Amino acid sequence: MIVILFGPPGAGKGTQAANLAHHLGIPSLSTGDMFRAAIAAQTPMGKQVREVIEAGDLVSDDLVNKLVFERLNQPDCAKGVILDGYPRTVAQAEALDNWLQHHHLKLDDVIELKVDEDALIERRAGRLYAPQSKRVYHKDFNPPKTPGFCDETGEPLIQRDDDRPGVVRHRLDVYGRQTSPVIGYYSAQNRLQVIDGMAAIEDVFKSILKALQK
């Protein structure tokens, strides 16, 4: 089974990808993780990626595709994969279709977690983080027992920069600009299923599993 999962920052895509991978017994792959693994392993591809990143440039579609296809050929992907946020461009989507066709495989599902941006920004703005324990709280949905302090360590809670409304709005705007053409690519081919990403984690996961059965 090969599934693509799309979702903006803060929609819980990473959580759902991990849950789905565990449920199906197949790996969840993100390009970020693949970049880091290739660089750490010092593979020829990893060296190329490192040079591009260190130069401050964007990794080209061609290099991203080569990295992904190299990973898809690994034994642990034999039963399928969850592609977390890849493809990011229409060119990557077309290349993936061609690669799958060449390997006599098919893309089973493309799922987008849809969010209410204003509600998501408000939800992220209430998040509080404990730097030492790494625990995450929310002032409304998961408040600490003592306001402003971690239940486990007693350390002061902070709001991370990437949870600030202005930063969240910017990341959502960037995501929308980057992925809307890819979403349109799959939607035009009636291969896209849209799920409410604002629901509870358990409900979103149930909706994903239901979508996979169609």
Catalytic residues: 13, 88, 127, 160, 171
What does the DSSP assignment read for 15-55?
HHHHHHHHHHT--EEEHHHHHHHHHHHT-HHHHHHHHHHHT
Distances (CA, A) of 4 to 134, 142, 146, 158, 193: 29, 30, 41, 34, 10
Let me know: does 82 contact 21? Beta carbons within 8 Å: yes
Q: CA–CA separation, 147 vs 75, rounded Å?
A: 48
Let me know: does 70 contact 45? Beta carbons within 8 Å: yes
Let me know: does 81 contact 25? Beta carbons within 8 Å: no
Give the side-chain half-sphere CA count within 13 A for 94.
8
Sole residue written with tokens 């565990």? 22
Sole residue written with tokens 């349109």? 184
